[in-house]
Chain A
């Protein structure tokens, strides 16, 4: 299988462990990730908060390059994924927008391809059976809270993926790896990512609610499929603990890190030493390292 791969800006910096894990896991599964040559930033929230045309055009350029190859785009960042879907929809429903966009990008984007998120890719395109075939080490004893966040599943009218209130696909993958998924109610609560720099106090409150619920539900760690969620949840964990006088010490993994671990890759190969919340003691305790 071949799919266009759009790492997005985070995966080359703050989300490097996700990038490394994706590549290793894809290779093992026999998938060719065709990185979109010379891709540009999707614009993230600043673009759609500032203009109605800009985010569509920025994403259409990347989508157009993949469309020329006849490929859909795997977007491991939930924010990029969501913005790409919005661009596909706009180009397909608004003739005027399509004309303006194509004029701006100097290409003829037709809107015939689409974006796929990482969980959807593993669950729907690859399938649990194929994943199970590659498992070398069961992640027994690891209690995982699957955190989907907002943009992977919401709004459902746009994503048409899983369920916005109680999604299951990531849980099924984690279960297949032999880990234990906990039942908890905050799978899709917002972590406030977009306000991380301009209004940090919001992040402390929202992430505190998420971690305290995960902890109360018995989780050892969280797993996400988004570098923005992952960064936001780990980066301010120490500040959150201080602000609310609590202790979480809870790493947040990307889904492909856990898949990679069960495929037999070492934590180091998967970039697990690059986390802001150390993964070392948990990996040691569960005998994964």
Chain B
């Protein structure tokens, strides 16, 4: 029975699995589940699944579960897993791909703060051409509801004169805005 259920799951998720493989250039079937990736992963202790489990779930066709996993949001891209994997799976890039597809497909975001942070960061880059720290803090705090986030360290930053309250606007910000525009067009085009 188990085997039958597994085959059904694989069949149902076939096109999504090939989309994941095509975009990530990672063939999950190469993994032989040694667990090296999980052992060296700095965030497994707070995530729902380990990188090894994410790969196993993909092998089994459990795409819904993977798209909803917190692991794909918590991965910091340190590259420990990829550096040590005896089968050479680029897991950080797999996680990047899963995160992008999960959002595109409308799955609930397992780690909202990570998503809000990324989005706020990129908003400042899109409008100014560079990271605008004070703007990022304001955007992130209001959108995440963590109004005091960063406030423990903000006075130190100000005292040392490290963070400017004003953005640095690059001359080529139209070019940068155009990169974001093309990205949105491509996302829409799919």
Q: Which residues of A contact B (CB under 8 A)?
A: 9, 12-14, 16, 38-41, 43-54, 57-58, 61, 100, 103-106, 150-151, 154-157, 164-165, 189-190, 192-195, 197-199, 201-202, 205-206, 235-236, 239, 274, 276
Contact = CB atoms under 8 A, between A and B. Distances in A.
Contacts of B156: 235, 276
User: For chain B, what secondary structure do more than half of its interface residues adopt (helix, strand, loop), or is it mixed?
Assistant: helix
Given A40-B170, A154-B79, A155-B79, A103 B42 contact: no
Given A274-B162, A276-B160, A40 B176 contact: yes
A41 B114 CA distance: 19
A43 B186 CA distance: 18
B138 interface: no
Given A13-B163, A44-B121, A197-B117, A156 B83 contact: yes
Nearest to B156: A276
Given A40-B130, A192-B76, 18 more contacts: A38-B129, A39-B170, A40-B172, A40-B176, A43-B125, A45-B118, A46-B118, A46-B122, A52-B96, A52-B100, A58-B176, A58-B179, A105-B179, A155-B90, A190-B80, A199-B46, A235-B153, A235-B156
5 contacts: A38-B172, A40-B172, A195-B76, A198-B114, A205-B45
A268 B80 CA distance: 37
B64 to A, nearest CB: 21
A50 B122 contact: yes
Given A190-B76, A190-B80, A274-B162, A54 B42 contact: no
A199 B113 CA distance: 8
Contact of A194 (B77, B82, B100): B77
B127 to A, nearest CB: 11
Q: Which 6 A-B pairs have the closest CB atoms?
A: A154-B79, A46-B118, A190-B78, A198-B113, A9-B131, A104-B182
B111 interface: yes
Contacts of A201: 46
Contact of B175 (A53, A105, A276): A105
Given A52-B100, A198-B117, A41 B129 contact: yes
Given A39-B170, A106-B178, A151-B79, A206 B140 contact: no
A49 B182 contact: no
B180 A50 contact: no
Contacts of A155: 79, 82-83, 90, 92
Between B103, B140, B176, the greatest number of chain A beta carbons within 10 A of the residue's beta carbon is seen for B176
Given A61-B172, A106-B175, A195-B74, A14 B162 contact: yes
A41 B83 contact: no
B50 interface: no
B100 A51 contact: yes
Contacts of A49: 77, 96, 99-100, 114, 118
A194 B76 contact: yes
Nearest to B178: A104
A164 B88 CA distance: 14
A190 B99 contact: no
B121 A46 contact: yes
Contacts of B122: 43, 46-47, 50, 54
B30 interface: no
Contacts of A13: 133, 162-164
B157 interface: yes
Name the residue among A14, A43, A195, A235 with the largest chain B CB count within 10 angstroms.
Answer: A195
Contact of B130 (A41, A51, A202): A41
Contacts of B76: 45, 190, 192-195
Contact of B171 (A38, A165, A195): A38
B182 A103 contact: yes
B17 interface: no
A39 B168 CA distance: 11
Contacts of A41: 125, 129-131
Contacts of A206: 42
